Amino acid sequence: MRIVIAGGHGQIALRLERLLAGRGDDVTGIIRKPEQAGDLRAAGAEPAVCDLESAAPGEVERLLQGADAAVFAAGAGPGSGAERKDTVDRQACSLLADAAEAAGVRRFLVVSSVGVDRDPPEGTDPVFAAYLRAKGAADADVRARTGLDSTILRPGPLTNDPGTGRVNLAESTGRGAVTRDDVAAVLVGLLDEPGTAGRTLELTGGDAPIRDAVRKAAGG
């Protein structure tokens, strides 16, 4: 497969790139800073420098030509303000979705977060509340598109512990942390399982082997 990953220098994206390249897939990672290119090449991915906050739709569409799938794994990241939560976590996701539809790339995965489908609780930090609202709006936009076979993955709090290969993957999992290694491995499984299209799935650490968890989420 040829897979294009937005946010290609992110911690989950780099793990995903290594897994996909390691099994022989053709992987392109979209990055904003040219100096990040070496890390992507080390992971086995081809870097494509494109700022999704300012890019024209046609520029992104060209990057997606001939791809089998697109993954939105971008985020404004720690230290960014509320405005960038919207321009990256919502607007850039919609831009990638527009480009995927225009390029005829139906399979579309989104790395989202738990808790984005409801209003943030009173007293939530304003920037974090903006992040949750931006992610929720992006998810809703992607779900509404008939031109995409989308799966939205909502991990719980992320850790850098070694992956366990065992998770809880379902429409509702309850609260629980999950390793970035396991998130990346689940994304690989979702790319391989078209039966998960149209689903919004929460993810935490758990007891089910990833392959079994993905198969069950697809109704198998």
Q: Are 123 and 140 in contact (CB under 8 A)?
A: no
Name residues whose C-beta falls within 8 Å of residue 45's C-beta, 6 or more positions apart in sequence.
5, 8, 17, 20, 21, 27, 28, 29
How high is the pLDDT of residue 119? 81
| Cα–Cα dist 73/185, whole Å | 14
Tokens coding 188: 């690989």
pLDDT higher than 90, residue 81: no
| CATH code (residue 120) | 3.40.50.720
DSSP, collapsed to helix, strand or coil, labels residue 79 as coil
Residue 43 scores a pLDDT above 80: yes
Q: What is the mean pLDDT of residues 187-211?
A: 97
Mean pLDDT of 81-92: 89
Give the other-Cβ count within 10 Å of 174's Cβ: 10
Owning domain of residue 58: 2-217
Percent of the chain with pLDDT over 70: 100
**Confidence band for 128, pLDDT divided at 50, 70 and 90:** confident
Q: Secondary structure of 123-167 in the HEC alphabet?
A: CCCHHHHHHHHHHHHHHHHHHCCCCCEEEEEEECCEECCCCCCEE
What residues act catalytically? Answer: 131
pLDDT tens per residue, range 132-173? 999 999 999 999 999 999 999 999 999 999 999 999 999 999
Please give the single-letter amino acid code of residue 50: C
Q: For residue 204, give the H/E element and its range.
A: strand 199-205
Averaged pLDDT of the chain = 95
Task: Provide the domain count of the chain.
Answer: 1
What would the DSSP string read from start to end of 90-131? IIIHHHHHHHHHHHT--EEEEE--TTTTSPPPTT--HHHHHH
Confidence of residue 220 (pLDDT cuts 50, 70, 90): low
Tokens representing 81 are 């303000």
pTM for the predicted model, two decimal places: 0.95
